[in-house]
Amino acid sequence: MLPVSARLTPDEFLAWERSQTERHIYVGGEVFAMSGGSLRHNRLGAQTSASLVRGVAVGPCGAYSSDQKIGLPANNFVYADAVVLCPPIALRPGTSDVATNPLLVVEVLSKSTEAYDRGDKQKGYLALPSLAHFVLVSQVEERVEVYTRQQDGSFRYEVFGAGATIRLEHPAMSLVVDEIYAGVLELPGD
């Protein structure tokens, strides 16, 4: 990711980005353009989102697409591949589009962004008090990594592969790894 503009304040970035046709993230005062994903990346994101939609259908929470902007600590603004938000949804003051209290966040890993997704971006997500689950989805193999917040605030790390069912507590739902990956690995990836 390369910076695309001079340093902006957080509020300047949010105002500027709303007028753009492409999405950008804001990290450490710098603006970075987001590139489009491969067919495999996009399908994994869509199928994971569909699983989340089914999983939260009976409760008050909602699944949101990769267009949902998330506010992280230190005034960083990012997009995930899928997000679950529950009422009351907290928005950054003065905005109607920057959620600050996701319950669950999904990132589909890409060669170009994996280091950031597993590094500073993950650190930002895990610092959110609202976050119960952080999910990483591989494009290389049927592999889903789940970080689940424990009672003491730490995170339990688990890896799920083909044939596995991921049981989440908050919100209560199950994700079936084979459903997330159905028809995906034969598509072009990055």
Spans of all domains in the chain: 37-181
Note the pLDDT of residue 35: 75
pLDDT at 55 over 80: yes
Strands (E), the chain: 24-27, 30-33, 62-64, 69-72, 76-79, 82-85, 98-99, 104-108, 133-137, 143-149, 155-161, 165-169, 172-176
Could you report the per-residue pLDDT of 61-70, keeping only the tens digit for each? 999 999 999 9
Contact by Cβ (8 Å): 34, 110: no
* Nearest-angstrom CA–CA distance, 71 and 34: 16
Could you report the per-residue pLDDT of 13-49, keeping only the tens digit for each? 999 999 988 899 999 888 888 877 899 999 999 999 9
CA distances from 174 to 4, 53, 77, 169 (A): 39, 11, 28, 9
Note the pLDDT of residue 4: 55
What would the CATH number be for the domain defined by 37-181?
3.90.1570.10
pTM of the complete model: 0.93
Note the pLDDT of residue 34: 84
For tokens 């990346």, what's the residue?
Answer: 41
The token pair at 65 is 């697409």
Share of the chain above pLDDT 70, in %: 97
Q: Beta strands 69-72 and 98-99: pairing type? A: parallel
Tell me the pLDDT of the chain averaged across its residues: 93
Note the pLDDT of residue 148: 97
Note the pLDDT of residue 2: 41
Three-state SS for 190?
A: coil
